[in-house]
Every structure is written in C-alpha cells, then in structure tokens.
Amino acid sequence: MSATIVSQLHSYNKKVARSRATSEPAWVRWSLIAVSLLFLSLFLFIPLAAVFTEALRKGFGAYIAALVDPDALSAIKLTVIAAAISLPLNLVFGVAAAWAIAKFDFRGKSILITLIDLPFAVSPVIAGLIYVLIFGMQGWFGEWLIDHDHKVIFAIPGIVLATIFVTFPFIARELIPLMQAQGKEEEEAGLVLGANGWQILWRITLPNIKWGLLYGVILTNARAMGEFGAVSVVSGHIRGLTNTMPLHVEILYNEYNYAAAFAVASLLAFLALLTLALKSFIEWQASRDVIIDEQIEE
Amino acid sequence: MAKHKNVLPGFNLSLGYTLLYLSLIVLIPLSAAFLKTTELSLAEFWQVVTAPRVVASYKLTFGASLIGAVLNAIFGLLTAWVLTRYTFPGKKLVDALVDLPFALPTAVAGIALTAVYASNGWIGSILEPHGIKVAFTPLGVVVALTFIGLPFVVRTVQPVLEDLEAETEEAAASLGANRWQTFSRVILPALWPALLTGFALAFARAIGEYGSVIFIAGNMPMVSEITPLIIITKLEQYDYAGATAVAVVMLVISFILLFAINGLQWWSNHRISASR
C-alpha cells in the first residue's frame, strides 16, 4: 500500500557501485541474507507451501471434488459478484477523488485525504458492524426494510456493502500521489487545443495513469475476493446462499473437513500469487515507460 | 509559483461525487457506531468496556500487536536491507513474495499458519519437544499478527534505502567510521521516519485483525481472545449496544493511530525533500 508506483519510479535506476569501504564482508552479507530468509520462511514461505500440500493431502480426486461441490461453486459465484460490483464503484470514486485532489487546490484537502484513508484504520469486524447498525433488524432502516421485504444484512447487498467499505481507499490511494506527481500541464494543453472535459479525461489523464489504475484495481480485487472479517459479520453464513469463498473455507475447516477447506483456500492462494505476479509485471512496465520517456526527452 | 486561475473543468462534479460517496459509504455508517453508544448511559458504557474479559482482550490485542510490530521492525529492516543491497539467487521472487500478506486472504493465512504451527505441523512438531506451544496459545496470536504486518516495514524502508546516496557512506568511511558506526550513526538516522511509519502501520493493522487470528488463537476467554472477537461474540448474542461500545473504544484508538501515522509520513517526506 505504501509502496506506491511513484516511489518505485523514482528509484528504478539508482545502481551504485560500492567499494569495500561501503559494503560488508562476505560472511556478514551471507549471514544477514540467511537470517532474513529464515524469518520469511517461518512466516511466509512455509505457510504458503502448507496450503497447497494440505489441499492435495487426500489426492487430486478429492481436491477436484471439493471445488465442484455445489456449495463451493455458489461461494465462488458470490465472491465474484461482490468483487464485480465493488470494483467499478471504487474505480469511479478513485478517479473522481484523485482528479479533485491532484488537479485543484481547496481548503481541507489534507483532511479529505485522511478521511479517505479511514477504512484502512477500521477493523474489518467494525466495518461489518456499522452496516448491521444501519440495516439490521434493530437498525435505522430495519423496520422499513422488513415492511418492504428487502434484505440487506444476512443477504448479498450487505456483503457487497462491506466489501466496498474495506476496499474503499485502494484505488484513490494509488492515483492521488501519481496524479499529483504528473501535474496538470498536459490537461491544460488539451484544453487549449479545444478538448472538452471528458475528452481530456479519456485521452490524456487515463492513458497517463493506466499503470497506477491497474495496480489499484488488482489490489482492490485481491482484497475484495479475500475479505473475511467484515463479510463474516453481515453474511449470516447461509450455505449456498450468503457464503463467500473465505467463509466457505471457515465452515469446512470448523467441520474438520481440512482437505476440502485447504482445497478452496488453495484457489484463493493461487489468486494471491497471480495478484503478486501481475503487480510485479505492472511495476516493470511502469518503470520501463519512465525510462523510455526519459530517453525521448534526451 | 504564481497563483493563476485553474482552468481545468470538473472540480465541482469530482469533489461533489467524492464527498457524497465518502459520506454514504464511510462517514454516515461510522457515525452510526458513535450514535448507537448514546443508548447506553456513561456508567453502563464504562461497565461494558472495562469488564474483566474485555480488558483481558485489550491486553492480548495490544500486547501481541506490539510484539508483532517490533518483530516486523527488526526483521523488516533487515529484509529491506538485504533486498536493496545484496544480490542472491531468487531475490526477485523473494521481493515479490514479501507482499503476500497483502494479497492472501486472512482466512487462508489463518488456517495455513495453524496447520504449520499446530503440534503436528511442520514447525509446531519441532517446537513442541522443547516445550514451546504456538497454536491455540497467545503466542499463536503473535505469529498471526507478525504475518499480516510483515510487508509494511519492508515497503516503507525499501525506497528510502534505495534513495540513500553512496557518497554519504563514503564520506563516513573516509572520516574513519567503521561499517557498524556508519550504519548506526549515518544510515539508521535517515531511516528512522520510514521505520517508525512502517512500525505504526503494522501495529495499526494488527490491532483490527480478525481473520488470521481466530483460527490459530484457540479463543479462550481471558487467555487468547482478541478484542474483535469480543465484538463478534456480543453481536451473536444480539448485544448490539455492548458490541458497539467496545467497537467505539477500538475506533478511537485506531483514529489516533491514523493521525499519528499521517504525521509520521509527513515528517518522513519532509525530511527526504529537505535533504534533496
């Protein structure tokens, strides 16, 4: 999150030749690398490997069976739906917020940026709780919703709302520093040449921020599909109806059906690895674009 | 910079939409939590948030988050150092995998850590003969919270370390400093703001964490029950006011931390731009 593309761009080619006076002896180097890798293995690599081994413990047949189980399929479907609704909404918000903050000066801007960050600071459990307080049985709109036969809590709308909340800042957070760094000269040039606002947005701004935007979308998607705490509070855990993939993992695990739990978990772990691969690819593309830009300028 | 009139269109639309969306999704729902607690009298509120079981959960949540964040500060700094300064086979892969806790769903992390650190797991079975139990004890909570905070320190320190100029270190060396002195008196002071920011981010994230902890913690009241779980338990008993009271305590602490982090980041950016 804090490793924004901007900082990556600034430091892409800082390769420094180091003499003996400014580097460490080989034995120090290798011990530091070993300690770091041991730490990462204990907390990252071994648990990650465990997901896939546990998933295949009962064989490939059982693995596939756990994934094509109707409850698992409906959990996958709901997870995709929640991500597919929350992603575009937060995307539009992210672009609008970044446009207002990066291209204009106004009072209270830093307060607005802090407020956009709020969902990062709120426990996912509390994110679920606040929607229960509004739409739940005893909530503000509870009676109205019952009278009109709508369901938000323990139903799909609640899950979507909770997902939107926890992924709220990701895209805006990625775009604001990027668009601030880019300034507004190109947009102003477009305006002078007679483009209207939407043309400027589509033809100048969006192409300029495409990597940052994609980066934000990928992070949002990963979090949306993997959210557990917030969704757990509003879902009601109704099998085949209001279970997302992470909730399905929990249910299977609590029923001591470990192989099946890890099978569904392995899909999510695979999604996480795919996210990291795409993220590295985007960082590489973005830094390559900067190098090309600088070569053109020279 | 001369102040001139901003000619770009869309200010009212974009700011208006931003404020509307922010209010509907974040501000109004959050204010619901604060309004709900007004249903309790001050004495009732105090009784709920200082009940022994709740206080025990604060101690565990904040204590384990602090230990996890300290571990991440130490090993995150080391990892950032190793990734920026040295080359070794598989470095790019390791660098990419550091972000795994951001991408891996917390429930998956929770069951994976439990499987590895349980007494019959890969690591748990090695530790068990030495009398160290991790899974289903407070130590398990520390392990989970270390996992989820792992990328923060690495990713805040790494860019600062990359931007440090070799000349400063050469100057220190030519003035007779040995490598350790150069590190502790020249490099470390420059890293402090970033290190502290990463530490605070990891700590703040750990306090609210739920998914990865509940599988490994064992969730015994007074021993290994975290505060977010207390909120869930109260909700399941339809004690909405009680759940909200505990939530408000957590929210206030989180907001204070958020402001502290923003201050730290401002300090950190300020120092970098001042040194340029």
Residue B46 confidence (pLDDT): 95
**What part of A 244-273 touches B (C-beta under 8 Å)?**
245-247, 249-250, 253, 258, 261-262, 265, 268-269, 271-273
Instruction: State the smallest CA–CA distance between residue B145 and chain A in angstroms.
Output: 10
3-state secondary structure of B1: coil
Q: Sort out which chain A residues have CB atoms less than 8 A from B36's CB and list them.
A: 133
pLDDT tens, position by position, for chain A (298 residues)?
444 555 554 444 444 456 777 788 889 999 999 999 999 999 999 999 999 999 999 999 999 999 999 999 999 999 999 999 999 999 999 999 999 999 999 999 989 998 999 998 899 999 999 999 999 888 888 888 888 888 888 899 999 999 999 999 999 999 999 999 988 899 999 999 999 989 999 999 999 999 999 999 999 999 999 999 999 999 987 777 889 999 999 999 999 999 999 999 999 999 999 999 999 999 898 888 888 877 777 6
Residue A13 confidence (pLDDT): 43
Q: Do B29 and A269 make contact, defined as CB atoms within 8 angstroms? A: no
Q: Sort out which chain A residues have CB atoms less than 8 A from B96's CB and list them.
A: 276-277, 279-280
Interface test with B, best of A13, A23, A24, A33 (most B CBs within 10 A): A33
* Separation of alpha carbons A191 and A185, rounded Å: 10
**Per-residue confidence at B165, pLDDT binned at 50, 70, 90?**
confident
Enclosing H/E stretch for A181: helix A170-182
- In terms of CA atoms, which chain B residue is nearest residue A138? B240
Q: Any chain B CB within 8 A of the CB of A237?
A: no
Reference A92, options A194, A266, A220, A260; nearest CA is A220
* pLDDT tens for each residue of B231-275: 999 998 989 999 999 999 999 999 998 888 888 878 877 776 665
CB crowding B151-171: b at 16 or more within 10 Å, else e: bbbbbbbbbbbbbbeeeebbe
Residue B102 near residue A274 (C-beta atoms within 8 A): no
Which ipTM value was assigned to this complex? Answer: 0.90
- In terms of CA atoms, which chain B residue is nearest residue A19? B170
Instruction: State the smallest CA–CA distance between residue B91 and chain A in angstroms.
Output: 10
Residue A205 near residue A67 (C-beta atoms within 8 A): no
Q: Sort out which chain A residues have CB atoms less than 8 A from B26's CB and list them.
A: 115, 118-119, 165, 168
Interhelix angle B28-37/A124-135, rounded to 10 degrees, is 80
What residues does each domain of chain B span? Answer: 60-226
* Separation of alpha carbons A57 and A262, rounded Å: 9
* pLDDT tens for each residue of A19-73: 777 788 889 999 999 999 999 999 999 999 999 999 999 999 999 999 999 999 9
Residue A2 confidence (pLDDT): 42
Q: Do A228 and B211 make contact, defined as CB atoms within 8 angstroms? A: yes
Residue B174 near residue B37 (C-beta atoms within 8 A): no
* Separation of alpha carbons B135 and B143, rounded Å: 9
* pLDDT tens for each residue of A124-141: 999 999 999 999 888 888
Q: Any chain B CB within 8 A of the CB of A216?
A: no
Instruction: State the smallest CA–CA distance between residue A297 and chain B in angstroms.
Output: 23
Instruction: State the smallest CA–CA distance between residue B196 and chain A in angstroms.
Output: 13
- In terms of CA atoms, which chain A residue is nearest residue B68? A43
- In terms of CA atoms, which chain B residue is nearest residue A227? B105
Q: Any chain B CB within 8 A of the CB of A124?
A: yes
Please say whether the structural domain B60-226 has been given the CATH code 1.10.3720.10.
yes
Q: Do A122 and B79 make contact, defined as CB atoms within 8 angstroms? A: no
Q: Any chain B CB within 8 A of the CB of A41?
A: no
Option in A29, A125, A184 nearest B210 (CB): A125
Q: Do A44 and B235 make contact, defined as CB atoms within 8 angstroms? A: no
Q: Do A33 and B88 make contact, defined as CB atoms within 8 angstroms? A: yes
> What 3 state SS string does B181-202 have?
HHHHHHHHHHHHHHHHHHHHHH
* Separation of alpha carbons B99 and A61, rounded Å: 32
Q: Within 10 A of B100 (CB to CB), how many other CB atoms are there?
A: 23
Option in B10, B116, B197 nearest A47 (CB): B116
Option in B29, B88, B156 nearest A131 (CB): B29
Q: Do A123 and B108 make contact, defined as CB atoms within 8 angstroms? A: no
State the pTM of this model. 0.90
Q: Do B108 and A44 make contact, defined as CB atoms within 8 angstroms? A: no
* Separation of alpha carbons B221 and B226, rounded Å: 9
CA distances from B58 to A19, B52, B74, B229, B230 (A): 50, 10, 24, 11, 10
